[in-house]
Amino acid sequence: MAHTITLIPGDGIGPEVSSAVVRIIEASGAEVEWETKYAGAQALEKFGSTLPDDLLESIVRNKVALKGPITTPVGKGFTSVNVGLRKTLDLYANLRPVRALPNVPCRYPELDLVVVRENTEDLYSGLEHVVVPGVVESLKIITEKASTRIARYAFEFSRREGRGKVTAVHKANIMKLSDGLFLDCFRNVSRDYPEIEADDKIVDNACMQLVMRPEQFDVMLLENLYGDIVSDLCAGLVGGLGLVPGANIGERGAVFEAVHGSAPDIAGQNVANPTALLQSGVLMLRHLGEREAAERVERAMLKVYREGKVRTRDVGGTARTNEFARAVVEAME
């Protein structure tokens, strides 16, 4: 049966990297149909909303979306579409697999870890107010329900993917109640998964360990703010945001996305690297149960990187976006 996928091409380089990824996925043997929808500034112009109902209904109906980057105005204008999507659809788990690619210069070519980030609460609840002029309060919300749900997600993911260890990262030595609750929930859930090692680290130490000895980590579980920061730190260990995939997953749907931005400096030049969105597409195919197609795409992509002849500008080559896509399609077995 064909899968219908909501495709949000996004802004800037979004349409270029999306069309490269669509071309590769269509060549993989997976039966997919696309429902193209708009978000952000383009949707505001066309439909009067940055997150039109039509888009949300499409994701809820199809349960899966592939999303390019969306421009977010800084300090003014509309609020982040990415945060809006996560909140509206309750996409509570943010997944960031971090693995180096052959022939891409990076600090840790052997690294292979996964960051699981709670996506709905913590300081990102947006509950801020001015107490008196000059004093602002921002509320950090941590609940037993959300902490248990994300811990279970991390262990279920580890079991499914054959990963051996989950490390909870926190600051429960200082935030004894909030991070303490997150840690308690993690420990409670871990008892249901005796085959998976469970340990924890304080976030500052975890950052130092990541830079010095990242291979000690397998799956990392973090609250929203620490997860946001640490997942980008981890991307930097293997070559940057232009390469790693991302997914936001909930009961009502899943949005697979490029974690880099819309790169206005190179938009429209056919030089963007579609690898991040492509790797998100591989995650999406696995999520859809299309394991064979996922592996075919991944093998072809790795082959192109291993051969090192067709590489985009950001990783030291001269290939254009569509040339990279063609090379991956031609490398498919």
What is the spatial distance between Cα 124 and Cα 211, in angstroms, rounded to a whole number? 26
Of the two residues 17 and 123, which places its CB atom closer to ligand NAI in the complex? 17
Selected catalytic residue, list 37, 63, 67, 171:
171
Of the two residues 285 and 319, which places its CB atom closer to ligand NAI in the complex? 319
Of the two residues 140 and 313, which places its CB atom closer to ligand NAI in the complex? 313
Selected catalytic residue, list 38, 92, 108, 124:
124
Q: Does 94 bind ligand NAI (CB under 6 A)?
A: no
Piece of the chain touching ligand NAI by CB under 6 A; list 41-49, 111-119, 257-265, 286-294: 257-265
Of the two residues 179 and 298, which places its CB atom closer to ligand NAI in the complex? 298
Selected catalytic residue, list 67, 228, 305, 314:
228
Q: Annotate the chain with three-state secondary structure.
A: CCEEEEEECCCCCHHHHHHHHHHHHHCCCCCEEEEECCCCHHHHHHHCCCCCHHHHHHHHHHCEEEECCCCCCCCCCCCCHHHHHHHHCCCCEEEEEEECCCCCCCCCCCCEEEEEEECCCEHHHCCEEEEECCEEEECCECCHHHHHHHHHHHHHHHHHHCCCEEEEEECCCCCCCHHHHHHHHHHHHHCCCCCCEEEEEEHHHHHHHHHHCHHHCCEEEECHHHHHHHHHHHHHHCCCCCCCEEEEECCCCEEEEECCCCCCCCCCCCCCCCHHHHHHHHHHHHHCCCHHHHHHHHHHHHHHHHHCCCCEHHHCCCECHHHHHHHHHHCCC
Residue 171 among the catalytic residues: yes
In the region spanning residues 235 to 254, those forming contacts with ligand NAI, defined by CB under 6 A, are 241-242
Residue 90 among the catalytic residues: no
What is the spatial distance between Cα 65 and Cα 113, in angstroms, rounded to a whole number? 24
Q: Which of 201, 260, 311, 320 binds ligand NAI (CB under 6 A)?
A: 260
Of the two residues 179 and 257, which places its CB atom closer to ligand NAI in the complex? 257
Annotate each residue in 9-38 with x if it binds ligand NAI (CB under 6 A) or - if it does not, as one string.
----x---x---------------------
Of the two residues 55 and 259, which places its CB atom closer to ligand NAI in the complex? 259
Q: How many residues bind ligand NAI (CB under 6 A)?
A: 22
Q: Does 147 bind ligand NAI (CB under 6 A)?
A: no
Q: Does 257 bind ligand NAI (CB under 6 A)?
A: yes
Write down the least CB distance from residue 173 to ligand NAI, Å: 31
What is the spatial distance between Cα 43 and Cα 70, in angstroms, rounded to a whole number? 11
Residue 228 among the catalytic residues: yes
Reference 17, options 309, 252, 321; nearest CA is 321
Please count the other Cβ atoms lying within 10 Å of the Cβ belonging to residue 309: 11
Q: Which of 27, 314, 320, 331 binds ligand NAI (CB under 6 A)?
A: 314
Write down the least CB distance from residue 318 to ligand NAI, Å: 13
Annotate each residue in 42-81 with x if it binds ligand NAI (CB under 6 A) or - if it does not, as one string.
---------------------------xxxx---------
Residues that bind ligand NAI (CB under 6 A): 13, 17, 69-72, 82, 241-242, 257, 259-266, 272-273, 276, 314
Catalytic residue positions, numbered: 124, 171, 204, 228
